[in-house]
Amino acid sequence: MGKVFRFERKTNGLQKINMRDIVIGDSNFVVMAGPCAVENREQLISTAKCVKESGSHFLRGGAFKPRVSPYSFQGLGEEGLELLNEAKKETGLLIITELMDKSDFGLIDRCADIIQVGSRNMHNYSLLKFLGETQKPVMLKRGYSATIEEWLLAAEYIHIYGNSNVILCERGIRTFDNTTRFTLDLGAVALIKSFTNYPVFVDPSHGSGMRELVGPLAKAAVVVGADGLLIEVHTDPDQALSDGKQSLSCEDFSRLMDELNPICSLVGKKLM
């Protein structure tokens, strides 16, 4: 590993990405929480408030949703972005949301502090090249069947076109065992941290598909060296329009943040 990659050698310390008062990378541990999909004003604002109160730094929430079935809820689109902007103003949280199509970039750029490239678009090289020509911070989720090398090369697409604000996010890979929705590959996180200077996040919600496993895997992410977490939180998980089974309630999320604190301290990271 390593020899095919030109960028992001571990030569000059961890890549830091500064947004307002938040620094990703360095010795910070950054949490991004919120619903899978933006559903309506009440759901979004109340979730934003609860994750803010528990110490989340970012609000996550999808306005454009890449759904496997065309018959599933496809997201609120532009209306969803307006609600994210509203939540941002009301809570002061930074925003991360997904871009599926470069023609939506203008809209999303006005709302998002970080643009997410989802697992199913990790191989969408047109999109990666396009984002490489911007300076927007990009969180590149691992394709659920991408090797570590393919994932790092996808990151290099963004780099080589001029944008070094790249954050990686491990979110589980597809294996023969469907008991859990995906299998979180924490060895990949430790490996990538050992020879690149990318900030690496972990998404234990997609990485398991079961809310009971989100807490244990979130803690494990801290000790293997991750720089932050992406967590699905919903005010009423059982009524969520997507991914309810893997969403934490506000109470669960608050408890998890309390439990993460001493683990972050132990490994020399600052959660808040």
Cα separations in angstroms, 85 against 34, 93, 95, 212: 14, 10, 8, 31
Contacts (Cβ under 8 Å, ≥6 apart) of 198 = 8, 15, 155, 166, 167, 168, 192
Distance (Å, whole) CA 114 – CA 227: 15
Q: How many CB atoms lie within 10 A of CB 13?
A: 9
Neighbours of 49 (CB within 10 A): 17
Could you give the C-alpha distances from 253 to 57, 130, 158, 228, 263, in angstroms and in order?
13, 35, 33, 15, 16
Q: Binding to a second copy by residue 173, rule CB under 8 A?
A: yes
Nearer of residues 40 and 126 to a second copy, judged by Cβ:
126
Q: Which is nearer to a second copy, 86 or 150 (CB)?
A: 150
d(CA 42, CA 47) in angstroms, rounded, equals: 8
List 37, 93, 100, 117, residue binding a second copy (CB under 8 A): 100
106 binds a second copy (CB under 8 A): no
Residue 89 near a second copy by CB under 8 A: no
HSE value, Cβ hemisphere, 13 Å, CA-based, for 12: 4
Shortest Cβ 13–a second copy spacing (Å): 19
**Binding status of residue 41 toward a second copy by CB under 8 A:** no
- Interface pick for a second copy out of 180, 197, 249, 254 (rule CB under 8 A): 180
Cβ proximity to a second copy: between 134 and 180 the closer is: 180
Q: Any contact of residue 23 with a second copy (CB under 8 A)?
A: no
What is the size of the binding site for a second copy (CB under 8 A)?
62
* Position 176 contacts a second copy (CB under 8 A): yes
Q: Is 12 in the site for a second copy (CB under 8 A)?
A: no
Q: Is 220 in the site for a second copy (CB under 8 A)?
A: yes
Residue 124 near a second copy by CB under 8 A:
yes
Instruction: Out of 23, 45, 66, 197, point to the residue binding a second copy (CB under 8 A).
Output: 66
